[in-house]
Amino acid sequence: MTDRHQAGHQVALQLRTSEDALDVALAETLRLAALMVDARRAAGFGAALGQDALDEVLAGVAAINLARAEVVSAHARLADLADAQGVLWKPQAVTLRTAG
């Protein structure tokens, strides 16, 4: 990573990977919560059964969502910093820079 444009590109790629991972974690945890409710209902159990566990899973959803929001905010901040420093971080910009 000797070139600042390559460094910016690598950070951008990892940022996208992080955002994607958080999206997957959020979606999977929401699926878990829905499955817990559906399975309880299908089994004929009352609403109180497993409520504490559902509360914990939904607290996890909130935590993942907060982490996602922070990374999205960091994404905007990093893009602004890169632009202010003249760092080409978008894949096509780095390709054009190194090819030309």
Q: What are the per-10-residue average pLDDT scores of the chain (100 residues)?
A: 82 96 98 98 98 98 98 96 90 55
Number of domains composing the chain: 1
pLDDT at 89: 80
| Angle formed by the axes of helices 51-84 and 4-42, nearest 10° | 160
**CA angle (83, 67, 15) in 5-degree steps:** 35
pLDDT at residue 69, rounded to an integer: 98
> By residue range, what is the domain housing residue 41?
4-99
